[in-house]
Chain A
Amino acid sequence: MTILVLGINDPWVFSAYILAILSMLLCVVYGALNWNKGGEDEEKQVKEEMEWHKKEKEMEEEELGLWDEEG
């Protein structure tokens, strides 16, 4: 006898259907639980990056002309 889950008779296929939904829920739960975590070093890092991006920007302006020619 074959079992039908969600109208699908092959366990390999209905488990993919269900796993796809569960994977999405995993992402939702993970994202929700960690919504405010991981921002600790943000300020320090942004400051650092402002510095080297400033340098990078100057370099790119010279090298690529990407930033100044349209604006």
Chain B
Amino acid sequence: MDNNYILLIVIVLIYLFLIGYVGYVAWRRTKSADDYMVAGRETHPFIMALSYGATFISTAAIVGFGGVAGVYGMGLLWLTVLNILVGIFIAFVLFGKRTRKMGHNLKALTFPEFLSRRFNSKFIQYFSGAIIFLGMPLYASVVLIGMARFVETTLGINYSIALIAMAIIVAVYVIFGGIRGVMYTDALQGTIMFIGMIIVLGFIYWITGGIIGGNQALTNLINVVPPNATAAAAATGFTGWTSMPSLGSPFWWTLVSTLILGVGIGVLSQPQLVVRFMTVKSNKELNRAVLIGGIFIFMMTGTAFIVGALSNVYFFNTVGQLAIQVVGGNADNIIPKFISAAMPLWFAYLFMITLLSAAMSTLSAQFHVQGTALGRDIFETITGTKGKSSVLVARAGITIAVIVAVILGFTLPTNIIAVGTAMWFSITAAAFLSMYVFALFWKRSTKVGVISGLVIGALLSIFWLVFEYKKSAAALGICKAITGQTVLIAANPWPTVDSIIIALPIAFVITVVVSLLTKPQPKEQLDKIFRGV
């Protein structure tokens, strides 16, 4: 036991030393370079792609969605397809290049600032800032939960202690190192994540009998397990781990609308990711980043989903139970449990570092974006005050964000990581995606049009989450308190249809209709914004 702790401490110290060293080198470089932001724009494509990837892929993706794959099976690989095609290819090639050029023309540094300058509206900036500041703690807290669950399982310590310890480590990191050399430490963390995941993928196929053998074993599993083990899931549409749920069943709607579409499409309008496009100096970097990002995301999400699904084979062969039974019904624990049960201890520690990397890179970006949302987008825009007071507000914003994330970490129910992530992606997609798409591609879109889409999309998706989407409505209890029912429409499939399916199309239509009814933006403004696009 003592040796194990020495090993753990050595691994953690090496890791912290590496992060500290890279952060220091980055800091030195930024000092000698003309300035921080330009240094950011001269970033190597490897750094840019891994930084984007490490921010995109968090513990939520690996632990939360990996665990969900243990329940929903390999159908979740559709999310990998969307993550690569939409989250990398479309995001970089179609959205990224335009965002970079227009961001340059607009001199924008944050996502709300980009949108607000594109349409010449301060309201867009503080309203978007408010959505980010109020909504993002949910996402940040599920990332924290993912990390804490792993530490709880691997080190055998109390979940609450793990949660607070993680929050403190991340807060220190964000405050002292996270703002400066963030791209470089992200890239190092991305590299660690990549190596960790390759080892796990190789390992799981090695112990389950190779790619075809392992998949085949998973396909056969549904015929081998006692029917009562899957009865509850089967009643809602589950058909096996290598087949899609029954079309239109609640199980199908959750998998397809919330997990696959919500996250797969919602990624396009993630504020902390869009910002990355504004920090590259030319399309060349984006072209190169597509190559690296494609491989990275494939290895991260593909591995997590395959491992989550195949962990059923491992657990059934070793303890005669399904993954979800082994963890007592909390899917958030499937990946941690698998790593600590199946793999050598030294690797469990190494994987913990992998996850710590994933959590830190995502959380630092999230907390930073929340801080600037409160300081720059809300406080400065509304009060018109600049100077020291807005710094204080931004720092207060980061502190509040960390505290709220920790409180949510204690109060949120189990099985929350993937759903919490998906909810945040849905809200941001409903609010920002139509505006962002039209900002980039449709010159006829107007200020009033996009504001209508923004406000209605945001309100509609929040309304849906509070009153109709069962998982969130039941947890919040607001609908129950007002109407006496858990959700407004109890008939299937509505309680399992994700808000993105409802709110996003409506926001799109409203933006188009209102834009066509209102006066177009002056041509000289548009010429300036679209210069060189």
Q: Which of B285-332 contact A (CB under 8 A)?
A: 286-295, 297-298, 302
Q: A14 to B244: give the CA distance in the assembly, Å.
A: 10
CB closest residue in chain B, given A12: B244
Given the interface pairs A23-B294, A23-B298, the reply to whether A37 lies near B287 with Cβ below 8 Å is: yes
Per-residue B-contact encoding for A37-53, CB less than 8 Å = 1, 0 else: 11111100110111011
Interface size class of B (residues with CB under 8 A): 35 or more
Q: Is B523 an interface residue (CB 8 A)?
A: no
Given the interface pairs A7-B216, A32-B291, the reply to whether A26 lies near B283 with Cβ below 8 Å is: no
19 CB contacts below 8 A, A to B, read A7-B213, A7-B214, A8-B242, A12-B75, A13-B73, A23-B81, A23-B298, A30-B290, A30-B291, A35-B284, A35-B291, A37-B284, A40-B282, A42-B282, A45-B281, A46-B41, A57-B37, A63-B391, A65-B391
B294 & A31 in contact (Cβ 8 Å cutoff): yes
Q: A65 to B109: give the CA distance in the assembly, Å.
A: 16
Residues of B near A8 (CB, < 8 A) are 74, 215, 219, 242
Q: Is B35 an interface residue (CB 8 A)?
A: yes
A38 & B77 in contact (Cβ 8 Å cutoff): no
Residues of B near A59 (CB, < 8 A) are 386
Residues of B near A6 (CB, < 8 A) are 211-212, 215
Given the interface pairs A20-B302, A50-B34, A57-B35, the reply to whether A4 lies near B216 with Cβ below 8 Å is: yes
Q: A52 to B85: give the CA distance in the assembly, Å.
A: 34
What distance in Å separates the Cβ of B117 from its nearest Cβ neighbour in chain A? 13
Q: Is B394 an interface residue (CB 8 A)?
A: yes
CB closest residue in chain A, given B289: A31
Q: In the A-B complex, list the 10 residue pairs whose CB atoms are closest, starting with the nearest.
A: A27-B294, A31-B291, A38-B283, A7-B215, A7-B216, A39-B284, A10-B243, A34-B287, A23-B84, A16-B77
B contact patch SS: helix
Q: Is B408 an interface residue (CB 8 A)?
A: no
CB closest residue in chain A, given B78: A16
A54 & B298 in contact (Cβ 8 Å cutoff): no
Which of A38, A53, A63 touches B387 (beta carbons < 8 Å)? A63
Residues of B near A30 (CB, < 8 A) are 89, 93, 287, 290-291
Residues of A near B85 (CB, < 8 A) are 23, 26
B109 & A56 in contact (Cβ 8 Å cutoff): yes
Q: How many residues of A contact B (CB 8 A)?
A: 50
Q: Is A21 an interface residue (CB 8 A)?
A: yes
A66 & B287 in contact (Cβ 8 Å cutoff): no
- Among A14, A23, A27, A59, find the residue whose CB has the most chain B CB atoms closer than 10 A: A27
Q: A53 to B27: give the CA distance in the assembly, Å.
A: 18
CB closest residue in chain A, given B239: A10
Q: A35 to B46: give the CA distance in the assembly, Å.
A: 12
Given the interface pairs A27-B294, A71-B31, the reply to whether A13 lies near B77 with Cβ below 8 Å is: yes
Q: A64 to B214: give the CA distance in the assembly, Å.
A: 55
Residues of A near B37 (CB, < 8 A) are 49, 53, 56-57
Residues of B near A7 (CB, < 8 A) are 211-219, 242
A67 & B35 in contact (Cβ 8 Å cutoff): yes
Which of A14, A19, A24, A46 touches B38 (beta carbons < 8 Å)? A46
Residues of B near A45 (CB, < 8 A) are 104, 281-282
